[in-house]
Amino acid sequence: MNSKYIFLLLVLLIQVIKTASAQNYIQFANNSGYWNEHIEDYVTFGEINIYDYTTFINGDTLISGSILYHKLYQSGEHIKYTNSWNYISTSYFTNVFSGMIREDSLKHVYLKLFGNEKLIYDFNLQINDTLNDTAYWHPLDPGTYVSLIDSVFLGTAYAKRYHLSVGNNNDYVSLIEGIGSTFGLLELVGVPFERFSTLNCFKSDSTFLELNPGDCSFVNVQEPSDKPNVLIYPNPFSDFVQIDCGGFLIDFIEIYDPFGQIVIKQSNYKSLDLIDTYNLSSGVYFLHGMTENKIFAKKIIKY
């Protein structure tokens, strides 16, 4: 057989194998995942802000007793320059709580932050599908559509990659199964303007993808303890409940009923302040809050 035809058959076979491999949906990491990201922000007048950081998963929490979320944190450095690139300062941030993500059985990925949940990724898209700009957490340019679907090798398997286009901006960003946007896990996926972000690389227990060789160095993160030191009492309770958080300010408190509805919501809670529960019916509730960039959750009972 002509060597040219053998070569073409081999190329075709490789493509078939890649396509078949990519049919197995790649889920997001559920107990480990590290996204190395870079941002150049020109939005603030007179300043240029550069961020190099790692977004990572650490720990889980249950909402409404049954919905599992994975908690996200960020650690990295922030460098400021003048708009003529004269150095101003460097600061560091460690284990900053950045929200919680969950993935359902329909290949949807959601972000929950301060009580609000919204879609961040839909991996059911087809070529020429238009993304609903009002459905996503990220603002999208109206008319953004899927211009190409191919696959990318993640070390052990191929994952689908969705290329997005809008107007004259062709393939300006990609969405990858199990990883998210090539702009960064939680970054905007609209056409960049005065803010430019990129995912340098991603790793988990079984996956590694390097998008920008030479720029992939994961920030040394110290993973936070799973729970802050808080005490909730009385429990069971009647007309009030209070939280002892050792004098720290609690950023927010949410109490959910068994159906997942928020029945009490409070911001900037001070330790030992009374939370009025007089109007709640007897039964089981779920209290969630955040202090020191750590999420806590507790089942509480009204008698």
Residue 9's SS3 state is helix
H runs (alpha helix) in 93-223:
none
Pair (266, 235) in one structural domain: yes
Interatomic CA distance for residues 122 and 116, integer angstroms: 18
Residue 217 lies in a domain: no
pLDDT tens across 47-91, in order?
A: 999 998 999 998 888 887 778 899 999 988 899 999 888 889 988
**Rg (the chain; Cα; Å):** 23
Residue 88 has φ and ψ, to the nearest 5°, of -115, -55
Grade residue 246 by pLDDT with cuts at 50, 70 and 90.
confident
Residue 202's contacts (CB-CB under 8 Å, 6 or more residues apart) are: 33, 34, 35, 36, 179, 208, 209
Q: According to the per-residue pLDDT averaged within each range, which of 22-26, 71-75, 214-218, 289-293 is highest? A: 71-75
Both 51 and 103 in one domain: the answer is yes
Q: In this structure, are 50 and 182 located in the same domain? A: yes
pLDDT in tens, 98-145: 889 999 999 999 998 877 788 889 999 999 999 876 667 777 788 899
Same domain, 34 and 134: yes
10 inside domain: no
User: Based on the structure, what is the number of domains in the chain?
Assistant: 2
The greatest distance separating any two alpha carbons of the chain, rounded to the nearest whole angstrom, comes to 86
Distance CA(269)–CA(246), nearest Å, equals 12
Strands of the chain, DSSP E: 34-41, 47-63, 67-82, 87-103, 108-113, 116-122, 145-153, 158-166, 169-176, 180-181, 195-203, 208-210, 231-233, 240-244, 250-256, 262-269, 274-276, 283-291, 294-302
Calculate ∠ Cα 291-222-92, nearest 5°. 75
Q: Count other Cβ atoms within 10 Å, centred on residue 294.
A: 22
Q: Are residues 135 and 186 in the same domain?
A: yes
The answer to the question of residue 41 being in a domain is yes
Whether residue 160 sits in one domain with residue 86: yes
Closest CA to 121 of 129, 112, 109, 113: 109
Question: What residue spans of 1-87 are helical by DSSP H?
Answer: 3-22
Residue 124: name the closest of 109, 140, 107, 148 by CA: 107
Q: Do 183 and 254 reside in the same domain of the chain? A: no
What predicted TM-score, i.e. pTM, was given to this entire model? 0.66
**Do 181 and 257 belong to one domain?**
no
**Residue 300 CB neighbour total at 10 angstroms:** 18
Task: State the residue for tokens 């007309």.
Answer: 239
**183 and 246 assigned to the same domain:** no
Q: State pLDDT tens for residues 153-192.
A: 887 789 999 999 999 999 999 999 999 999 999 887 788 8
- What pLDDT band is residue 27 in, cutting at 50, 70 and 90? confident
